[in-house]
Structure 1
Amino acid sequence: MNSGEIFLNSYQRCRIGTEFITDFLDLFCDANPRFLDRFQEVDKKQQARMLKASLVLIQNASTTSAVRNTVRNLAVKHKDMELEISAKELDMWVDSLLATVAIYDPFYDEDVEQAWRNVLALGIEIMKENAC
């Protein structure tokens, strides 16, 4: 199985919803308290939809230039909103996401972690280049 298949299987096992998002945000805000205020009042269902959409975009960044441009535009939007996101914070986002995946995916192991990292790598790199 390749990284994409391992990622998709793990993604499906996680069933990303309100509980997943709550746990992810708790882990992310613990790692980066600067974002606690930003997410405290955000509707969890809306956050779940936004995270799913972000994951789909970032995951598909390697597929077409149109998707890469969409990720680039998302990064620029974050920058224009003066969110002041650093490369380290994007790494914290990935680490917090993977810590959450480890909780929700009963088959989480080093191969699953590496698959997630591989699949998200290009999209995260685009974010770093354009949001930071």
Structure 2
Amino acid sequence: MNVVMNAGVKGVSNESADRVWRSYQRCLEDYHFLQEFYLRFIETSPEVAQKFANTDMDHQVLMLRASLDLMLGGDRSTSEPVALRQVAKLHSRHGVDVPPRLYDCWLESLLLTVARFDPGFDDELEQAWRAELQKGVAYMKAAY
């Protein structure tokens, strides 16, 4: 599967990508940003809570940080990032079995958390975040 991370995605300009990256960096200034995301995400459904029941959450937070770094600030070339392929394989039905519908919960939980931690968050920035993450989320769903 070949994917272009954000390059050529309608509505994703370098300026938009930079704005999202700056928003992400503002969120990361608070140590609790990623932890709160997981609390919010886990509360979205019993299925999500069950997926994380025996998870080392400190390690999970580190993995989320690496994934977001890749999706938001990574290589914007036309080649598929190897790290994203590995994450997708791990989360597929052959790995920890995260069904595609849960990625919508993941995205909404992330955006609600960003809105809480970034004082510059507004409707335009929300749309920029959605556009930035669109390809990665679609890739994860397709790899299931």
Q: TM-score range by the shorter chain?
A: 0.7 to 0.9
Task: Give unpaired runs (5+ residues) of structure 1.
Answer: none
Paired amino acid for 2:16:
S
CA distance in 2, matches of 1:17, 1:42: 23
Structure 1 position 103 matched with structure 2 position 111: no
Kindly report the root-mean-square deviation, in angstroms, between the aligned alpha carbons of the 2 structures.
Answer: 2.2
Alignment of 1:53-72 (within 5 A): 53-59=66-72, 60=74, 62-67=76-81, 69-72=82-85
Helix, strand or coil at the partner of 1:31:
coil
8 A Cα contact 2:30 2:117, kept in partner: no
- Secondary structure of 2:52's partner? helix
Shift of the alpha carbon at 1:33?
2.1
Q: 1-side partners of 2:131 and 2:112: how far apart?
A: 16
Runs of 4+ in 1 over 4 A off after TM superposition: none
For structure 2, the 5+ residue unaligned runs are 1-13
Deviations 1:15-50 (A, max 9, x none): 166511221112111112222244355444323211
User: Can you list the C-alpha shifts for 1:43-76, whole angstroms capped at 9, x where unaligned?
Assistant: 4432321111111223337434141x43233212
The alignment covers a number of residue pairs equal to: 129
Q: Is the 8 A contact 2:48 2:102 kept in 1?
A: no
Report which stretch shifted further, 11-20 or 97-106: 11-20
How big is the shift at 1:86? 2.3
Q: Which residue identity is paired with 2:79? A: S
Larger % of helix: which? 1
Partner of 1:28: 41
Distance 1:100 1:41, change over 3 A: same
When normalised by structure 1's length, the TM-score is 0.83
Q: Which amino acid aligns with 2:47?
A: R
- The corresponding residue for 1:116 is 129
CA contact 1:90–1:128 (8 Å) conserved in 2: yes
